[in-house]
Structure 1
Amino acid sequence: MFPAASSLVPSLRSPQSQNDQHDQSRDRSAGRPSPRPAAKRDAFFDNAKYLAIVLVAMGHSWEPLKGDSRVLQAAYMLVYTFHMPAFIVISGFFSRSFDASPGRLKRLVTGVAVPYVVFESAYSLFKRVVDHDPQAAITLLDPYYLTWFLCALFIWRLTTPIWKMVRFPLPLALAMAMLASLTPNLGGDLDLQRVLQFLPYFVLGLCLRPEHFRMVRRRSVRIAAVPVFVFSLAFCWWAVPKMDTGWLYHRSSAQELGLPWWVGPAMQLALFGCSLLLTACFFSWVPGRTMWFTALGAGTLCGYLLHGFLIKTADYRGWFDHTAVHRPLGEIAVTVAVAAAVTLLCTEPVRRTFRFVMEPKMDWAFKRDAAELARERETREKQETREKQETGKKLETQRAKADA
């Protein structure tokens, strides 16, 4: 989900080591700007991102299997209620520093827009070749499968300065989501229904502070989360034949789901409350210490974008049609296999392999920032002045020695 890997979720800084301080003092003495200190990632957020991506992949694998099992349908409904909201809240929390400056806009383009263009095209070509579908067209206006999140994140990030400026950002975002749910003519371009209906979770992340995450990680909350999840799973089991799972995708209006217009806003409020409750319970169970999977949190963009090819290959080739995978042991085997696959896709070797797409260096495509050029020119002039002074001192010393 939760687009960029490291570019989407900045890290917290760590104290400088003695070597870093030595290097910085040496750079200052040489007239060069000091490098920024190495960043230290927060284990809690990396753990949360990894676990959320695993749930996303598991949910995608359950979709073609859930029709034969009411329990699996209930688990699917439960997971879809909170896994994307949790990831979007984290994305919003780490977007608080976005200020539309040239440097941040450049990272937004290279870390979100470019991967969207590449993978939107790749998934369309993949469908045309593997599924033998000549009608599969490449279009950047209609996000295919899971690329909608990159499109939405790009739009949300661009609007961040607005949400930081208005007085009541969350109520306003929630009102926009409610209005979208009763607007069937909104259209499918850029998946605007999802962009607007998921918007409150992103804005909520912008409004949160670190202490809010510490509050939900208290022991009392972790204990209370157990009965909440048990009750939620039982409720989902009861609601399977009664509720359209289309509400959980946040991509349709009430009229498109065959219901009166007023149901849309009501469902948006109800789902927002349920999703926040389950998201808080999910965060309460996320470990805050370094685990064996913590480092994988930096590779969630790879896991998110690449696991779709595995799911779609199985779908196009009819692997989900085998009777064995529709039995309880088969469903468990598929779940474990997909969780293992997305884990491998989040590893460092995969990140390095696809870095040219996920985190491309595109300095050639951007103009140099005027302020940066001025700083470099000022630094260069100071360096030249210092060198001239040192040269003059050396010449004076040499003359003094010669006269002596």
Structure 2
Amino acid sequence: MSEALQTAPARAITAPPGPSKQRDAFFDNAKYAAIVLVAVGHAWEPLRDGSRAVTAMYMLVYAFHMPAFVVISGYFSRGFDGRPERLKRLVTGLVVPYVIFETAYTLFTRWTDREPDRPISLLDPLYLTWFLAALFLWRLTTPLWQRVRMPLPLALALAMLATLSPSIGKDLDLQRTLQFLPYFVLGLLLKPEHFRLVRRRAVRIAAVPVFACAFVVAYWAVPRMTGGWFYHRDSAEALGAPAWYGVVMTPVLFGCSLVLVACFLAWVPGRRMWCTALGAGTLYGYLLHGFVAQGAKFWGWYDPAWVREPLGAIVVTVVAAVVVTVLCTPPVRRALRCVMEPEMGWLFRRDTTRPGADRASVRG
């Protein structure tokens, strides 16, 4: 989750562009809640076989948790203008963690999947690292989306065309990057008043029946629809559907996901809470919890029969939430800051441009 999940080196995404750099408790709370849902969703994955209810909950969460992250990432990318300092943060906050964790996940899966010959490929994102690669590409194109007419319809058109193209390779997970693009572009278009709108009491109340109905629909859809549509990583043909399904499903899923994202944000508290500070470290929780999720299967944590009972699903949910919470805490962030947020001053040339001249060039 990248800069939308980072701390000091990512101030551009922890507060809206502007003179104030004070963190907004609402967005930190939203990021923490979303990262918990990400971890819980991964923990539920092995429990889906034989449990229609768990599968329905899994589909419901996947319908909005990543769209929520991408929308927030787009919102806090509005200030990206390609200046040297912005590009430096792009490298240290996205490229470096991507290289490190792509390598680490490959080595880890060599052991857990017993595939000692699995190659390390920086072009084929493994597991969670796809988001870092995608956000890197989205952010580089931010100035373009801020200048074209009708950016959201154009992004939706690209996403629909992607579902028609099974030939799109796995390089940088371009299929998923294109299919999630409309959410990022929407975030670029949002303003603070839009978030205040969904946080009204009326929306908060309406969110209860909306989520209840969404669960019922998900429960009905379990035997009738593949959850692969919510991953946004495959073409329609790869999902076993006619090509034209993708053209229809893309805007339909986009609309449904946005309704659920709005309901999710409506429930996010705007005041400072015990978990607010953890919102600054969700990149750590995002990238690190994947090792626990992968290792849990290898270590046989899901083997006992009671784990697949209702009580077991509750325990798994609580454990996943606790683990990802711990991974977002300040001690973990301090220990791994050199990996997640390296300074790397040695890599970049010192900018000798006068500040005033630089600002004038940007305005021009």
Task: Please classify the TM superposition score into its range, dividing by the shorter chain length.
Answer: over 0.9
Q: In the TM superposition, what is the alpha-carbon distance from 1:317 to its structure 2 partner?
A: 2.3
Task: Say if 1:148 and 1:191, in contact at 8 Å, map to a contact too.
Answer: yes
| TM value normalised by structure 1 | 0.85
1:262 has 2:244 as partner:
yes
Question: Whole-Å Cα distance in 1 between the matches of residues 123 and 28 of structure 2?
Answer: 31
Q: Deviations over 1:217-245 (max 9, x none)?
A: 00000011111000000010000000111
The one of 189, 205, 226 equivalent to 1:207 is 189
**Residues 311-330 of structure 1: matches in 2 within 5 Å?**
311-330=293-312
Q: Deviations over 1:111-132 (max 9, x none)?
A: 0110000000000011123443
Q: Deviations over 1:107-161 (max 9, x none)?
A: 0000011000000000001112344321221110110011100000000000001
- Say which SS state the counterpart of residue 13 (structure 2) adopts: coil
Question: Whole-Å Cα distance in 2 between the matches of residues 42 and 171 of structure 1?
Answer: 30
- Say which SS state the counterpart of residue 68 (structure 1) adopts: coil
Task: Say if 1:2 and 1:53, in contact at 8 Å, map to a contact too.
Answer: no
The one of 194, 198, 216 equivalent to 1:216 is 198
The one of 316, 333, 345 equivalent to 2:327 is 345
Q: Which residue of 1 aligns with 2:279?
A: 297
Question: Whole-Å Cα distance in 2 between the matches of residues 368 and 106 of structure 1?
Answer: 11
Q: In the TM superposition, what is the alpha-carbon distance from 1:39 to its structure 2 partner?
A: 3.2
The one of 87, 90, 93 equivalent to 1:111 is 93
Q: Which residue of 1 aligns with 2:13?
A: 10
Q: In the TM superposition, what is the alpha-carbon distance from 1:316 to its structure 2 partner?
A: 2.0
User: What are the ranges of 5 or more consecutive residues in structure 2 without an aligned counterpart?
Assistant: 358-364
Q: Which residue of 2 aligns with 1:194?
A: 176
Q: Which residue of 2 aligns with 1:44?
A: 26
Q: Deviations over 1:337-386 (max 9, x none)?
A: 010000010011111111001110101001111315999xxxxxxxxxxx
Task: Say if 1:218 and 1:284, in contact at 8 Å, map to a contact too.
Answer: yes
Question: Whole-Å Cα distance in 2 between the matches of residues 110 and 2 of structure 1?
Answer: 10
Question: Whole-Å Cα distance in 2 between the matches of residues 241 and 121 of structure 1?
Answer: 37
Q: Which residue of 1 aligns with 2:362?
A: none
Task: Say if 2:36 and 2:321, in contact at 8 Å, map to a contact too.
Answer: yes
Task: Say if 1:302 and 1:358, in contact at 8 Å, map to a contact too.
Answer: yes
Task: Say if 1:254 and 1:260, in contact at 8 Å, map to a contact too.
Answer: yes
Letter in 2 for 1:220: A
Q: Which residue of 2 aligns with 1:161?
A: 143
- Select between 130-139 and 38-47 the one with higher mean Cα deviation: 130-139
Q: Which residue of 2 aligns with 1:272?
A: 254
Task: Say if 2:6 and 2:14, in contact at 8 Å, map to a contact too.
Answer: no
Letter in 2 for 1:181: T
Evaluate the alpha carbon distance shift between residue 296 and residue 171 of structure 1 in structure 2; reply closer, same or farther with a 3 A threshold. same
Q: In the TM superposition, what is the alpha-carbon distance from 1:11 to its structure 2 partner?
A: 3.7
Letter in 1 for 2:208: V
- Select between 178-187 and 121-130 the one with higher mean Cα deviation: 121-130
Letter in 1 for 2:13: P
Task: Say if 2:59 and 2:218, in contact at 8 Å, map to a contact too.
Answer: yes
Task: Say if 1:111 and 1:359, in contact at 8 Å, map to a contact too.
Answer: yes
Task: Say if 1:47 and 1:286, in contact at 8 Å, map to a contact too.
Answer: yes
Letter in 1 for 2:40: M
Question: Whole-Å Cα distance in 1 between the matches of residues 129 and 304 of structure 2?
Answer: 28
1:231 has 2:213 as partner:
yes
Task: Say if 1:110 and 1:359, in contact at 8 Å, map to a contact too.
Answer: yes
Task: Say if 1:2 and 1:87, in contact at 8 Å, map to a contact too.
Answer: no
- Say which SS state the counterpart of residue 234 (structure 2) adopts: coil
Question: Whole-Å Cα distance in 1 between the matches of residues 269 and 75 of structure 2?
Answer: 18
Task: Say if 1:53 and 1:300, in contact at 8 Å, map to a contact too.
Answer: yes
Q: Deviations over 1:164-212 (max 9, x none)?
A: 1101111100000000011100111110010000000000000000000
Evaluate the alpha carbon distance shift between residue 133 and residue 165 of structure 1 in structure 2; reply closer, same or farther with a 3 A threshold. same
**Superposed CA RMSD:** 1.7
Evaluate the alpha carbon distance shift between residue 12 and residue 250 of structure 1 in structure 2; reply closer, same or farther with a 3 A threshold. closer
User: What are the ranges of 5 or more consecutive residues in structure 1 without an aligned counterpart?
Assistant: 14-36, 376-404
Question: Whole-Å Cα distance in 2 between the matches of residues 113 and 239 of structure 1?
Answer: 38
Q: Which residue of 2 aligns with 1:82?
A: 64
- Say which SS state the counterpart of residue 238 (structure 1) adopts: helix
The one of 234, 248, 251 equivalent to 2:230 is 248
Q: Deviations over 1:29-70 (max 9, x none)?
A: xxxxxxxx9831000000000000000000000011111211
Percent of matched pairs sharing the same residue:
64
Letter in 1 for 2:6: A
- Say which SS state the counterpart of residue 172 (structure 1) adopts: helix
Q: Deviations over 1:314-345 (max 9, x none)?
A: 12223223212111111110110010000010
1:137 has 2:119 as partner:
yes
Between Structure 1 and Structure 2, whose CA radius of gyration is higher? 1
Evaluate the alpha carbon distance shift between residue 89 and residue 374 of structure 1 in structure 2; reply closer, same or farther with a 3 A threshold. closer
Letter in 2 for 1:237: Y
Question: Whole-Å Cα distance in 1 between the matches of residues 239 and 44 of structure 2?
Answer: 22
Q: Which residue of 2 aligns with 1:31?
A: none
Question: Whole-Å Cα distance in 2 between the matches of residues 227 and 326 of structure 1?
Answer: 28
Question: Whole-Å Cα distance in 2 between the matches of residues 70 and 101 of structure 1?
Answer: 50
